Structure 1
Amino acid sequence: MTDLVAAPVPLIRFSSEDLPEETRMEYLRDFYSRTRIGAEITPMIEDEKFRLDLAVQPLLGDTWVGRGLMTPHRATRTAVLASATNNDGVLLTRCTGRFIFSDRHTGEMPIETHDVLMANFNQTCEYVYLARDTVQTLAIDRTQLLNRLPGFEPEVSTRFDGRSPALSLLFAYAEAISRESVGSTMLGQVAAMHLADLAALALGVRGDHAEAARESGQKAARFALIKADLEQDFQNTELSAAAVAHRHGISVRYLHVLFEQSGQTFGDFVLERRLRFAMSRLTDPRCRHLRVADIAFDSGFADLTTFNRAFRRRFGATPSSVRP
């Protein structure tokens, strides 16, 4: 296992819109494509209309998750750039539109919207993006993947059906990670291990390795997706464990087990999220026109008495007393 260091793992963001128009393509071609992407970029539309927005969250080693918005272009990794790329990870890519991949082993390979492409990050190849699309990328550390997939040959670029449950869960978990603030290499290590587990399941691991991957990766991914779901639905006064379990295709008991293993109950998680939302509204000068009752109901509480009691217990003050 990779040693831990107490350094932050920042989210890397880049947008061509932030570059001066007169030097935008020069910067992309001569600096960013060589040092960051490791590929030559050739727009398939007028330079001034070309757009590339990227967000990459490094996790551990050669593992990272990324998302990008881009207009039509070719991304070519030459032999020189491939040898200079300091990344030996296995790259999984899916796109909201159709794109074409080619390398010297497989030739030209069309990738449909429901496909996931597996390729080596450091191989000579070309990606041709045909329309304005959003692409999601996931790099898995080669050593971590091979530890879970004995005999696997990631040197061969392969197209997978992205509608498979394992790949759907893998990319959903990667999406959940990209929305979180992974602020330390400890969190990065945990997330990287879970991603490797899920990737191994998606790419065909069998036997004892599969059992270990299911136990670790699937459980972590499912729990992350449930929490992301609750972040969107905690204000719903009709929210219940049964409804959430049904949405995620699991039993209510298993839902409670997932929360119990995290050291928090389902009810406590929802209550804490509602109370923090209420506190942010109550202390916001822009919300002074709202009544305490309005904020309580908007936070997901069904009655004011329950809200006041929970608020005092959590913050040691009444809702009215914290208002500016």
Structure 2
Amino acid sequence: MSQHHLDAARRAVAGQGLDAEPAAQVHRSRPAKLLKFSTNGIPVTNRVQLWEHHNSRALISLDIRTMDEAPLRASEVNLHFPSLKFAEVKGSAQVVERNERFIRQNPTDVIAVFFALEGEAFFYYGDGHESLKPGHAVIYDADRPFLRGFSKGLHELVLTIPRDDYLELSGGKPLLKPQVVDFNRGKPLNRHMHALARLINATLAGKTQPGQTAAPERAEDTALELLGLLARGERGGANPGYLATARCYIEDRLDDPQLSTAEVAVAVGISERHLTRIFAEAGEPPSLYILGRRLEVARDILSDPAQRTMPVGKIAADVGFASQGYFTRAFKTRFGAVPLQFRKNTLSEFAP
């Protein structure tokens, strides 16, 4: 990471005068802070004001209005890294705006990425507008005027990055118009966005991503690598970004026995040789990584008391093995017992 980014990170840490609870350490020297907000228990007349106040200190300053007579319902979970901010936002019908006057009074100097999970929305900006549905993500400069509306409520993930850091990732290319990406579609650029959404969601939930030792500890660096791929919109990204996208794609396709290294490479947008080199640098070739993830998922199913009656053949098929015999041999090699014996040994401790 560049000296510029490190300086930005230090500035961010110095400026975080928020009441927060420690959540994790990013490389130990870079603490992340967790904040939470909910309108539950707040008097109806104060909800919009306090919702605006929370967003102002924890994410982006917004002028917020409800769209009907119903009391505002809203909640937010925020995770602050030295440079990036992650958030999960839920709320009832509302309009959020940053017009020119509001921006002059409340500058943010950040680029925001909004990931729509539930609910349709409209997005007006400058001389254009977008209709957004679940699965759409928007990258936009938060200091350019916009109006966003959620007629049936919202559920979204949000990421913000200082504008200077984004410009460094994009090679100095400013973001003059919103970039809309359908992160449920199949293009490599969309898959990078899908991987970024998956990373944010897992990190906020405190879950470990496949291939990571702990959920938050490298989340900011991985998110920056993925943002770099999105900002440049071309090849030449750093290997960790491609690795994160490849692992995300593999996770979504584990049940396909035809999943191959070549398919993953095409999905990510690099050559098979490049993909193999990236995985080798991380510790194992992609074929062994796929096999390992299948066996780990099968192990988790076999260890689950609620699924004690699921046939081994179905488990093998569900995790992408075309042959139950091969699954049994591979499982024994990995875990020292055939699946049925492993299940018996593991579930015996749950016996009454």
Normalised by the length of structure 1, the TM-score is: 0.71
Number of the residue aligned with 1:160:
178
- How does 1:1-324 map onto structure 2 within 5 Å? 1=3, 2=6, 4-6=27-29, 9=32, 16=39, 19-20=40-41, 23=43, 26-30=46-50, 31-37=53-59, 38-48=61-71, 50-58=72-80, 60-76=81-97, 88-93=109-114, 97-101=121-125, 110-113=129-132, 116=138, 118-120=140-142, 123=143, 127-132=147-152, 133-148=154-169, 158-162=176-180, 168=190, 171-181=193-203, 183=214, 186-198=217-229, 200-202=231-233, 214-216=236-238, 219-248=239-268, 250-322=270-342, 323=344, 324=347
After TM superposition, give the deviation of residue 284 of structure 1 in Å.
Answer: 1.8
Larger mean Cα displacement after TM superposition, 125-134 or 257-266? 125-134
Contact 1:61 1:141 in 2 (8 A): no
Q: Secondary structure of 2:218's match?
A: helix
SS in 2 for 1:100: strand
Contact 1:82/1:124 (<8 A) preserved: no
Larger RCO (CA within 8 A; separation ≥ 6): 1
Q: Which amino acid aligns with 2:221?
A: V
Q: Distance in 2 between matches of 1:281 and 1:94?
A: 30
Contact residue 62 and residue 89 of structure 1 kept, 8 A: no
Residues 1:241 and 1:307: Cα distance change in structure 2 (over 3 Å): same
Kept in 2: contact 1:69–1:135 (CA 8 A): yes
Cα contact 1:39–1:77 (8 A) shared by 2: yes
2: CA distance between counterparts of 1:272 and 1:319? 15
Which runs of no fewer than 5 residues in structure 2 stay unpaired?
A: 11-26, 209-213, 348-352
The 1:195/1:256 distance shift into structure 2, 3 A limit, reads closer
1:207 matched to which residue of 2? none
Code of the aligned partner of 2:177: R
Q: Distance in 1 between matches of 2:82 and 2:274?
A: 33
1:98 maps to a residue whose letter is: F
Number of residue equivalences: 297
Cα distance change, pair 99–11 in 1 and its aligned pair in 2 (3 A): same
Structural RMSD (CA): 4.0
Distance 1:189 1:294, change over 3 A: closer
Kept in 1, the 8 Å contact 2:79–2:85? The answer is yes
Aligned partners of 1:196 and 1:294: how far apart in 2? Answer: 38
CA gap of 1:150–1:299, structure 2 versus 1, over 3 A, is: closer
Is residue 6–residue 184 contact of structure 1 (8 Å, CA) maintained in 2? no
Compared CA separation, residues 57 and 272, structure 1 to 2 (3 A):
farther
Q: What SS does the aligned partner of 2:65 have?
A: strand
SS at match of 1:98: strand
Q: 1:43 Cα shift?
A: 0.6
> Separation in 2 of the partners of 1:296 and 1:170?
29
Q: List runs of 5+ in structure 1 lacking aligned partners.
A: 203-209
